[in-house]
């Protein structure tokens, strides 16, 4: 895996993990809702914590993908038809 493809794979994994992490720990704040805000909006979204968790999980998943691709267990060239 080259540098550019490694970065692209990491970014794709990061975004998928972010969407999986976003709902964790969200609770709506019905009592002290700000006027004009959605009723289901989270009281404390904690985006910085979720970004850190996403970065860590994505790094581990990227490392697993890197090892699988570099070891030859997964070969995209073998899956491609000969032209």
Instruction: Give the C-alpha separation, 64 to 47, whole Å.
Output: 25
């990491």: which residue's tokens? Answer: 10
pTM, two decimals, is 0.76
- Stretch 7-21: mean pLDDT: 96
CA dihedral over 33, 44, 47, 63, signed as positive or negative:
negative
The pLDDT tens digits for 50-81 are: 999 999 999 999 999 999 888 877 776 777 77
Instruction: Give the C-alpha separation, 22 to 68, whole Å.
Output: 27
Confidence at residue 18, expressed as pLDDT on a 0 to 100 scale: 96
């Amino acid at each position: 895996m080259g540098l550019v493809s490694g970065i692209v794979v990491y970014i794709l994994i990061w975004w998928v993990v972010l969407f999986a992490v976003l709902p964790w720990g969200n609770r709506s704040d019905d009592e002290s809702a700000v006027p004009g805000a959605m009723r289901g909006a989270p009281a404390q979204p904690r985006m910085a914590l979720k970004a850190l968790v996403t970065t860590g999980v994505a790094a581990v998943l990227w490392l697993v993908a890197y090892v699988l691709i570099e070891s030859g267990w997964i070969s995209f060239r073998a899956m491609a038809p000969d032209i």
